[in-house]
Amino acid sequence: MSTAELPDHVLVALRRIIRATDLHSRKLGKKTGLTTPQLVIIQAVGSLKDPTVSDIAKAVSLSLATVTTILNRLERNGVVNRARSAVDRRRVIVTLTEEGQTLRGSAPKPLQDSFVAKFSRLETWEQHSIVAALERVATMMDADELDAAPLLASGDEVL
């Protein structure tokens, strides 16, 4: 591959990543009616003990405002419940409904789970090399200052 061809190869690789993310998001939406962030929040609620909105936000690396908006939608759809703690009335605990439990059990794994599993099997030096290269690409695309959670999802589906 010539030096002149390298930019096109980088752009094709970026496009493949974007396309894989979009296709997985569509598949998840068709199968469950959920977005990737909604699924990740459902998984967090199911795995944490008596989680508050703050606990969930920390676990999924999203802002409190974003998690609250997603939980509002999930609650309207009968997937989660929010109730005051019997022990400490200041705490609002989030739980999965029966429908939420069913969705959690039947939904495909988020794309980032597969990526993290494969990435973890790489040698440490290769992991660092990939991180450095991707951070450099983000900077080159003027995206280095954008806030982003560790979710592989289309921007439109975060809420």
pLDDT tens string 127-140: 999 999 999 988 88
- Locate 41 and state its tokens: 């929040």
Backbone angles phi, psi at 84, to 5 degrees: -65, 140
pLDDT at 151: 65
Is pLDDT of 117 > 90? yes
The total number of residues shown for the chain amounts to 159
Q: Which amino acid is at 13?
A: A
CATH 1.10.287.130 at 3-157, yes or no: no
pLDDT at 152: 64
Residue ranges covered by each domain of the chain: 3-157
pLDDT at 82: 95
Please indicate, yes or no, whether the overall pTM of this predicted structure exceeds 0.85: no
Is pLDDT of 84 > 70? yes
pLDDT at 149: 65
What is the average per-residue pLDDT within 22-48? 91
Q: Please give the full DSSP string across 80-115, using - where no structure is assigned.
A: EEEEE-SS-TT-EEEEE-HHHHHHHHHSPPPHHHHH
- Locate 70 and state its tokens: 């997603």
